[in-house]
Each structure stands twice: as structure tokens, then as C-alpha cells.
Amino acid sequence: MASRTSSPLVHPDTDDLDLFKIMSALTDETRLTIVVTLSVSPGLACSGFTQDVTASVLTRHFRVLREAGLIRQHDVGTRRFNTLRKEDLDQRFPGLLDLVLKESVGRVEPYVNTECA
């Protein structure tokens, strides 16, 4: 099956991860909630996330997270799957993702009723 996009998805290399881009991406509550959700339900398709925002807005949030290096996306047919780049983040910034997830407790909750991959 063909990919969803004609251009390849761009993910920064581990050595190119920028702390300030990562932290900037996490300042948005929707993006933080996506990260928290992926920490407990890895591999979710984009369609498995909230419908509180339009598809185009959600697509932008995923793009920001991907370009900051927080998530990896890959297409299977017409679906786009998402995973956290925990190993890459731990290699570049040890403990950062664990700290972000710990500090998010009580601030955001993972999305419920998500469609599992």
C-alpha cells in the first residue's frame, strides 16, 4: 500500500536533538498529553488520539513533536503510527523524558478511548 505522504517523514538524528526545541514542544498541553499517552500506549495511530481538536491541528502537533525529536512516526498503508524516542532521548539527555513524565502527573492525563494499534 502507498504511503500517506509523497515526501518522507524527517526525524532529527540523535546527535541533532536540541533541548530547547524539545522543551518548547512540550510547553503545549495537547503535545504534552500526546507524549504522556504514548508513554503508556506506545505505537498508537494518529487516529487514536483526541477528537477535541481538528485533524489539521492534531497533525501540526504531531509534526512539532516529530521535528523536535520526541516521537518517531511511520506509515503503514493509510495509517500513521507514533512512538516515543525514549532511547534516543535518554542517550542525548539522560533522564529528561522520565522527568517530564514524572512532572506531568496531575497536570495532564493520557487520552482514554484511544484506538490501539
| 82-108 residues labelled b (16+ CB within 10 A) or e (exposed) | bebbbebbeebeeebbeebbeebeeeb
Cell (9 digits) for 87: 532511547
- The whole model's pTM is what? 0.87
What's the pLDDT score for residue 95? 97
Identify whether the C-beta of residue 82 lies closer than 8 Å to the C-beta of residue 45. yes
pLDDT per position in the chain (117 positions), as tens?
Answer: 444 555 688 899 999 999 999 999 999 999 999 999 999 988 888 877 766 778 889 889 999 999 999 999 999 988 899 999 999 999 999 999 999 999 999 999 888 754 544
- The type of residue at 19 is L
CA distances for 107 relative to 14, 41, 69, 89, 93, angstroms:
28, 18, 22, 22, 22
Contacts of 106 (CB under 8 A, 6+ apart): none
